[in-house]
């Protein structure tokens, strides 16, 4: 999410379908959103409910440019749920919340076009 002109980049090298399947992207609903002023880049601490099997996971997201905290709770987002947890300052980020860059390179979250059950896997 640090590349400002990602839309100018060529497609990544070809991968197999099995490599795609190795990346576990799930849908979850944000149940808490808190400011994270200690982060190097302005960030938000999210708690996301991925349903009964995966459960609740934490994520740090650099989304302050496009989202006010109070608009985040209840929003469904897509996240990679099978990366190892990553220490971001004092916060342990357990999943990578996904987004696309807007014209300024700021994150626009990925959401399904209608509500779907939490924990559903992207295919």
| CA R_g for the chain | 15
Each domain of the chain, given as residue ranges in start order, spans 14-109
Which tokens belong to 56? 């609740």
Q: What is the mean pLDDT of the chain?
A: 92
What is the pLDDT averaged over residues 3-13? 74
What is the pLDDT averaged over residues 38-48? 90
Residue 31: the pLDDT is 98
Residue 6: the pLDDT is 63
Q: Tens digits of per-residue pLDDT, 56-83? A: 999 999 999 999 999 999 999 999 999 9
What is the pLDDT averaged over residues 9-20? 92
Q: Is 46 exposed, middle or buried (0-12, 13-18, 19+ CB in 10 A)?
A: buried
| Out of 3-12, 13-22, 88-97, least confident range | 3-12
Please give the full DSSP string across 9-23, using - where no structure is assigned: SPPPPP--HHHHHHS
- Closest Cα partner for 59 from 28, 24, 21, 18? 28
Q: Please tell me the CATH superfamily of domain 14-109, with its number.
A: Nucleic acid-binding proteins (2.40.50.140)
pTM for this entry: 0.89
- Phi, psi dihedrals of residue 12, rounded to the nearest 5°: -65, 165
Which tokens belong to 30? 């944000």
H/E segment holding residue 60 = strand 56-61
């Amino acid at each position: 999410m640090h590349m400002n002109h990602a839309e100018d980049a060529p497609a990544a090298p070809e991968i197999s379908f099995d490599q795609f399947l190795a990346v576990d992207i799930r849908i979850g609903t944000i149940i808490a959103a808190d400011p994270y002023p200690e982060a190097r880049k302005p960030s938000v601490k999210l708690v996301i409910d991925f349903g009964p099997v995966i459960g609740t996971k934490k994520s740090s997201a650099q989304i302050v440019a496009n989202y006010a905290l109070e608009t985040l709770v209840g929003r469904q987002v897509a996240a990679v749920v099978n990366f190892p947890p990553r220490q971001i300052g004092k916060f342990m980020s357990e999943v990578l919340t996904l987004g696309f860059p807007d014209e300024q390179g700021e994150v626009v979250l990925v959401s399904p076009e209608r509500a779907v059950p939490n924990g559903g896997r992207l295919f």
